[in-house]
Amino acid sequence: MKREHDELAEDTADLTQVSSEGSRLKGPDAYRNKTILAPMGTLPMRLLALEYGADIVYSEEIIAKKFAKCLRTVDEKSKRVEFVLPDHKKKNVEAGCMLPGFFKDDAIHLSLDDALRAAPLAFRSDNEHNIYLEDEEDEEKANPPETTTSASQGATKRDVLQRAQHSSKTCVTYDQVSPASPLHALYNWDPLLDFLAAVLSKEQLHRTADRLGALNVHIYHQGDELGWHFDRGEFAVSLLLQSSAESGASDEGGGHFEYAPHLRSADDQNYVDVIGVLDAAEEDKSTTSTGGRIRRLNITPGALVFFCGRHSLHRVTKVTGDTPRVMAILSFETRPGVELNDYTRLKFFGRTG
């Protein structure tokens, strides 16, 4: 309690507050041994609290110095109000968000049964890839290694490309998902497009036009995993149908979603920290400075997850138990009519049509 009190004092050191004594006090001393109430909503309520013995009352707007420095922004479409630090804008933007319980038990079970019925026909991929999910030869031609050294010196794109990742999973394609599945209904439900567009601050979203890749269900059996990668697309929407993890954060069962938020940006590939995260994950050194950037998201069945994977390195750890991890991926684009290329279709679906 003492520590919190001091932290609050430090955080608000520049602010001048009106106390019950009516005098203006400045600096940390103004907050020692005082009865402080926060957050207090309306002025009459605050005045009443002062009358009944509180020394200092705060409205929400002046709790922290950091907060006082924020800019008020309003998203035009959703009308959502956000307070953003002007110089730390990127740190305020989350890598993703999760809505637990979006699908209730019945919808989960019907979708799961449908996917598992289709599984014997589905393609199993098992391959190595780099974290950028791109063809190395094409990439080297387009960006010769000498032009791709990180601003934070010492590591190059070539170093990162050499860190091969393994992925194996079975993929039920869109044409194999039954039109009777709740997943099919959800994906083709127009209000979902509006909802996602509002949440993601996009003018308009469209379902991906790919007859195989628009909606997929990935099944990870024992030994399967999804290696570290940055998504090529801007964001992904996923819905977990079955977890392989036995309980929340414990390692048992495996199949955990792990990510290192904001590891790169549009202007800095940050190869040094990318290598640091890959090393830390390999050696399971979650306490090293780069390893400390790795977070684990405890996704429960039925949760809808939006994830901006283009700048946040992420993976699914190896499934170690008997229960397969079953994850639906819903794909959307900001432009209509977008299809996958044949290279991707062959790699992940084993066919082009």
Instruction: Determine the Cα–Cα distance for residues 179 and 185; give it in Å rounded to an integer.
Output: 7
Asked if residue 209 lies in contact with residue 339, where contact means CB atoms within 8 angstroms, the answer is: yes
Angle at 5 (CA atoms; ends 4, 7), nearest 5 degrees: 65
Residue 140's CB is within 10 A of a number of other CB atoms, namely 14
Asked if residue 112 lies in contact with residue 327, where contact means CB atoms within 8 angstroms, the answer is: no
Which residue is nearest to ligand AKG, using beta carbons? 327
For ligand AKG, the closer CB: 11 or 231: 231
Residues 259-288 that bind ligand AKG (CB under 6 A): none
* 95 contacts ligand AKG (rule: CB under 6 A): no
Among the candidate windows 43-51, 104-112, 255-263, 307-315, which touches Fe ion by CB under 5 A? Answer: 307-315
Instruction: Say which residue the tokens 């809505």 belong to.
Output: 99
* 257 contacts ligand AKG (rule: CB under 6 A): yes
For ligand AKG, the closer CB: 58 or 96: 96
For ligand AKG, the closer CB: 236 or 308: 236
In the numeric block, which tokens belong to residue 336?
């209509």
* 238 contacts ligand AKG (rule: CB under 6 A): yes
Total interface residues for ligand AKG by CB under 6 A:
11
For ligand AKG, the closer CB: 182 or 309: 309
Asked if residue 222 lies in contact with residue 236, where contact means CB atoms within 8 angstroms, the answer is: no
Instruction: Determine the Cα–Cα distance for residues 280 and 266; give it in Å rounded to an integer.
Output: 24
In the numeric block, which tokens belong to residue 75?
């998203």
* 134 contacts ligand AKG (rule: CB under 6 A): no
For ligand AKG, the closer CB: 112 or 316: 316
Instruction: Determine the Cα–Cα distance for residues 81 and 164; give it in Å rounded to an integer.
Output: 42
* 318 contacts ligand AKG (rule: CB under 6 A): no
* Cα Rg, the chain, nearest whole Å: 25
What stretch of H or E contains 184? helix 182-187
* 237 contacts ligand AKG (rule: CB under 6 A): no
* 215 contacts ligand AKG (rule: CB under 6 A): no
Q: How far is the CB of 189 from ligand AKG (least distance, A)?
A: 21
Binding site for Fe ion (CB under 5 A): 231, 309
Binding site for ligand AKG (CB under 6 A): 218, 226, 231, 236, 238, 257, 309, 314, 316, 327, 329
